[in-house]
Amino acid sequence: MEAPTGKVWLVGAGPGDSGLLTLKGRQVLKQGEVILYDSLVSESILAWMPAHAERIAVGKRAGNHLVPQESINRLLLEKAMQGKRVVRLKGGDPFLFGRGGEELELLAEHQIPFEIVPGVSSALAVPAYAGIPVTHREFASSLHIITGHKKHNQPLPLDYDSLVRLGGTLVFLMGVHTLPEICKGLLGAGMPPETPAAFLENGTLSNQRRVVSELGRLEQDAKQAQMKPPAVLIVGAVCALSQMFSWADQRLLSDVRVIVTRPAERASSLTQPLQELGAEVLELPAIQTVPRPDTPDLLRMLDRLPHYDWMVFTSPAGVDVFFAFLYRNRVDMRSLHALKFAAIGPATARMLEQRGIFADLIPDTYDAHALAQALQQAVQPGEKLCIPRAKEGTEQLTKPLQQAGIPFDDVPLYDTVQLGHAPVALRETDLIVFTSASTVKGFVQAMQGTDLRGVQAVCIGEQTARQARHHNMKTAIAEQATIPSLIDCVVACHLQRKKGCSL
């Protein structure tokens, strides 16, 4: 019996900003079993690769191919013939100087099914993020995209006379090393040296930089600014609009990357507001909530439900897992009618509200110690508590209750499992957000071998900060243990750092 034939998707990952990966591109990526990816694909997009997928770095950059093109073509064929769902993840668009056509030839020859998922090209997106419209009725009515890449020790095969006569906007991709040759060629063909020109590095990312100049001075200005690949060269009158239309670097967090370590299912409440403020967000879930099987402790909790007076929740995840457990065991919600509910903070309370339950108690400070103090004030003599929470729950809640003589059942409901991920290269400007001590532990474990001294951690509370300081990180603590307060802390930390750099 023949092995089933797989399928290949050529996916354009866009220029870097994870928000510019198309919805279809992300959907295909999440379903990939084998993923071959280029060096120019941003880490924030690579973080979305499924944990179970086989990941193959093929490392294509100008002048440096980790895996030769012929080997990439062969790998795509071999993996597809093994019956795998193969994703070829390419920077920008697969068919714009991405050699996508070459990668399809071998597949078509062997009748391997494939699909193309177009990507946002850096030729359009990078200028847009620098405030440069590649066409404008008053300045340019045509756009010409040209490769700046050349074969080793050979001149660029460009007709500079024709390019100058075209009169539109010229966009050169992969032109860092050939910038002097391009400028000389255009000037030699008669383009005026005062023609506006721009050189844009790491476009759409938090570390993007731009040099806007004139053609006659661009080489010197780019060299002085030490511009490096990946970069896009733009020549044409529209470059003069950059200062007027600049928008990306006007955002509050435009020049910072924030690493979010909370579980994937809860990351969006942090990621979206940060992205709206302009931050580049890298989601690196450090922990995962894993519901425990129906242990004797959990089944005993079901039997004792009529005898409890309080149900105490210490996290939104606990609410989710608890009600899923009840549903799985066909427990009628009406059996909870006599219970009072306590929540450690507003996020946990909102999860209860989604089940039609309004918390009877939320402490003024959103941590375990404050919750214990509030319970000591609210619980009447003879009342009994049930605390369904993580197996690794802190004693800051249970120890004060014990000392006060308040009866409770501490029920292990789920495990907090530390996730491994490939270490990432940290930047000096990175801010790392931690929402629990366990996220700190998971991040440190994943980054083994990385010197974390001086890394700036933004923490939701003192317990989390204590764990970060244990690993020599600098810490800033949110005023309240809420997501909005945590975001405010990110902003304040970034602005303070920028102020310090400008002194």
Q: Which of 38, 320, 367, 410 is catalytic?
A: 38
Residues 6+ apart with CB under 8 A from 382: none
Q: What is the C-alpha separation between 58 and 56, in angstroms, rounded?
A: 6
The answer to whether 261 and 285 have CB atoms below 8 angstroms apart is yes
The answer to whether 82 and 68 have CB atoms below 8 angstroms apart is no
- Nearest CA-CA partner of 106 in 73, 68, 84, 75: 73
Strand ranges (DSSP E) for 441-502?
Answer: 456-459, 474-477
Helix axes 368-378, 395-403, angle to 10 degrees: 30
Place of tokens 């070459």: 102
Is residue 38 flagged as an active site residue?
yes
Q: Which of 174, 191, 447, 473 is catalytic?
A: 174
- Nearest CA-CA partner of 47 in 271, 253, 277, 291: 271
Q: What is the C-alpha separation between 415 and 393, in angstroms, rounded?
A: 10
Beta carbons within 10 angstroms of residue 26's beta carbon: 16
Residues 6+ apart with CB under 8 A from 53: 32, 33, 34, 35, 87
CA distances from 199 to 185, 208, 221, 245, 409 (A): 17, 11, 9, 16, 64
Q: Which of 17, 49, 60, 93 is catalytic?
A: 60
233, β-bridge pairs: 172, 199
Q: Which two tokens stand for residue 57?
A: 């770095």
Is residue 60 flagged as an active site residue?
yes
Q: What is the C-alpha separation between 213 and 222, in angstroms, rounded?
A: 9
Provide the phi-psi class of 88: left if phi over 0, else alpha when psi is between -120 and 50, else beta. beta
Beta carbons within 10 angstroms of residue 498's beta carbon: 12
Q: What are phi and psi of 247, to 5 degrees?
A: -135, -40
Q: Give the residue numbers marked as catalytic.
A: 38, 60, 174
